[in-house]
Structure 1
Amino acid sequence: MPEMRFIVTWPDGRDEECYSPSLVIRDYFGEGEYYSLSDFLSRSREALSIASERVRARYGYSCSLALGQLARIESQASIISDSQSQILIKKFLV
């Protein structure tokens, strides 16, 4: 199963490398595109849940790395006070 990493730029300018066990991230985000905080969270939840389920379908267990990545994204998003903040998908790393 091809995994990938993607670089997210948070509203404070900090880059974070994120992980997905599946290329499904490309179906939900575009490289160089900005997303509102709520849209970014919604897309992240759906994409990483699908990625984890793909691992379950293939190996019989969900992907703890994908679920952990989602938890880190949600934790970081929870400290952003402006709901209109924009998150950049800076780059895909495959």
Structure 2
Amino acid sequence: MKELNIFYYATIWSFIIGICCATYLNLINFIINFVWHVLFDKLPVPSQALPFFICIPFGFIIGILIKRLGSYPLTIEEVLMSVKQEFQQV
């Protein structure tokens, strides 16, 4: 009986996680298509210049955020180092 309950929980959660992932990926695909094919087709700018209008400002924004917040997400080495330090303190 316990194995059957675990199977049901795993099946239900796998379905929920799959729906969430599919929804997220479809949303990202919609946003990318909207920005690059709908929004930029209406701008009077040559298509070769569009990546510069996106990448340069957002590159500065990312640089400022990294300077203020630090680099995220943490690398696996940083995570393992913090775990080792926590175990040494205990």
Where is the helix percentage greater, Structure 1 or Structure 2? 2
Instruction: Confirm or deny a common fold (TM above 0.5).
Output: no
Which of the pair has the greater relative contact order for Cα pairs under 8 Å at 6+ separation? 1
Where is the strand percentage greater, Structure 1 or Structure 2? 1
Q: When the two structures are superposed, what TM-score results if normalisation uses the length of structure 2?
A: 0.32
Tell me which structure has the larger Cα radius of gyration: 2
Q: When the two structures are superposed, what TM-score results if normalisation uses the length of structure 1?
A: 0.31
